[in-house]
Amino acid sequence: MLIITVDIDDLTMARNTKGTILRFKDQLHKVFKIKDLGDLCWLLGIEVKRDRTRQTIMFLQHSYIDKII
């Protein structure tokens, strides 16, 4: 299973193996002009931090809170 989220012109993919994501990106690249921005750091204004060693993902809203204050 490959999970894909789309927000206007941004696409985020999630999978437990990188090979599936790479194959899907190759297929997209054959049809569309795409730019790979690397690992996910921000999603809809929320900071995303991943710890591969601990196998955890954190969603942080510090910048959103600072903006409101």
pLDDT value of residue 23:
92
Distance of CA 10 to the CA centre of its chain: 9
Q: Copy the structure tokens of residue 61.
A: 């809203």
CA distances from 39 to 18, 31, 66 (A): 11, 22, 24
User: Where are the domains positioned within the chain?
Assistant: 1-36, 39-69
Q: Can you give the pTM of this predicted structure? A: 0.65
Q: What is the pLDDT along the chain (69 residues), one digit of tens a residue?
A: 899 988 888 889 988 888 999 999 999 999 999 898 888 898 888 899 999 899 999 999 987 778 777
